[in-house]
Amino acid sequence: MIKRLMYINLWKELSAEKQMIFLSGPRQVGKTTLAKEIAGEFRNNVYFNWDILEHKKLLIKNPAFFENINRQDETTPIVIFDEIHKYKHWKNYLKGIYDQFASDYKFLVSGSGRLDLYQKGGDSLAGRYFQFRLFPFTIAELNDSRRSFNEFMKTPIANFDINNKNSTQKIWQTLFKIGGFPEPFVKGKDTFFIKWAKNYASQIIREDIRSIHGIKNIDNIELLFTLLSSKIGSPFSINNIAQELQVSFKSVREWLKLFEVFYLAFRIGPWTKKISRAILKEKKIYLFNYPEIENESYKFENMVALEFLRAIYNWNEYGYGKFTLHYIRNKEKEEVDFLIADNNVPILLIETKLSDDEPAKSLMKFQKILNIPAVQLVNKEGVFKYIKNDNNKLLIVTAHRWLSSLP
């Protein structure tokens, strides 16, 4: 088992306050395992799972059932609510529990989905929780030589660790073939991944989405999801897909939102400030389980997107800033794959190339316009160059060598 120290440390930072912690993320990403690891940090702990009938009965009979535990000592207990969002009145329940017991207990709430958006209705939990997201393994998490956040922000394209290229190369190759979901990654076998992945998305759509949201057009939703892997890396037209599936624009829009809520996919929007004739609306879409993307260039871009999504969510959860992930594209089809902004101010440009280690013209153009650091990540070994670009410098580097140091 790989101990997820990055997330345990983040938990410790967040739990220093009195708010509940909402731990969310894709199905089978290791939330229950992490929750139990966190429970092990406490002398007194209670684990509750709504999917266990006896636990369910316990809560219905006595909402404050956790008071009855026999403690090891006087230290503060932690109460873990796993899959509690499946309880119809979960928001009202947690609000009441928090208001009554926040001073005496720590509460960790975990579930397969974005708990902040999971269900409509119920009293607001605003101000009562911090969000904490668990992602599939990334090269940065699996590497033990990450830079500090302050070091990265000071010099994002310099002073990164280049001495671990051999160790990170093997990890990167495994991620490229099998992805970062813990069970397939740890087993490391193509045959197991194929069997595991065969029903992964279908189970989420047919079990979680249908049962909780009562959707009838499951076949169309599954068909939409199968189309996504061929749409990676390009602005995603809902209109075009709606016509292709012969369904309404509204249906496709709502289904895409469900894919995001259940961590099947994520989207990033365009950056438009200071970009003339920029695309204004269409987002790009990526998958959490990317190895099934057949086009290697799309798969590589998706891997990098997930690395940055993990990073900006963690930075926001630590309270370092208000980070967002975007792309740039104008009506002349000049494009840069990714832009990271903090509080609506651009700080870094990133381009991905499967094997091309010559500086991308669009990347150089938009770097001149925005006057910020830029990096071109290449999925080829032995690449490490600095290119002068007027008053700026562009780094071209083997992807895993730079990404492995991402804080």
At the topology level of CATH, where does 5-133 sit? Rossmann fold (3.40.50)
Phi, psi (5° rounding) for residue 397? -150, 150
For residue 63, count other CB atoms closer than 10 A to its CB.
Answer: 13
Q: What tens digit of pLDDT does each residue of 318-370 get?
A: 999 999 999 999 888 889 999 999 999 999 999 999 999 999 999 999 999 99
Q: What tens digit of pLDDT does each residue of 14-61 get?
A: 888 899 999 999 999 999 999 989 998 899 999 999 999 999 999 999
pLDDT tier, 97 (very low <50, low <70, confident <90, very high otherwise) = very high
Domain with CATH 3.40.50.300 in the chain: 5-133
Task: Give the pLDDT score at 164.
Answer: 57
Tell me, rounded to whole angstroms, the distance of Cα 249 from its chain centroid. Answer: 26
Greatest mean pLDDT among 102-111, 126-135, 136-145, 347-356:
347-356
Q: Cα–Cα distance between 87 and 84 in angstroms, integer?
A: 6
Phi, psi (5° rounding) for residue 227? -80, -20
Q: Cα–Cα distance between 127 and 195 in angstroms, integer?
A: 42
